[in-house]
Amino acid sequence: MDRKIIGRKEKVTLPELGLNLVWAKVDTGAYTSSIHAENLEVIDVDGKRVLRFLPLLPGHKSFAGEVVTFEHFREKKVKNSFGHAEVRYLIETTFELAGETYSAEFTLSDRSSMRNAILLGRKILRNRFLVDVCKVNLARQYRKN
């Protein structure tokens, strides 16, 4: 399998969330990937439970101000960076990195105190990428545009 080399920080696109080329931290120590989300709420729409939230922080240069909804979501217990277990919502969505589109799971969490609104964990990276921790934005060489 041909793996692409990426750096410790990369620009990713999440089309279903309206996010284009947003910086993400590549974290080989984290298993699960995560996206900053605010105003999370589960609501009833036409008899179906849907998850509604605002991706990214107001003031972030990629913030579109658009609320997104997902019909398919679940809750997952995750250990945060401090080792404490917490329950987070988990969605499956597509992301674009290094000229390819992939489907992956992301948990939604408050990353407002973190430097990057998106974190890419081992589950997404496995069998797809090699990480050069000395470099950033290596994926740009693979982008088609």
Phi, psi of 122 (to 5 degrees): -60, -35
Q: Per residue in 73-121, pLDDT tens?
A: 999 998 877 788 999 999 999 999 999 999 999 999 988 888 899 999 9
Q: Domain locations in the chain?
A: 4-135
Choose the CATH number for 4-135 among 2.40.50.140, 3.40.350.10, 3.40.50.11750, 2.40.70.10: 2.40.70.10
pTM: 0.89
Angle formed at CA 79 by CA 87 and CA 3, multiple of 5 degrees? 110
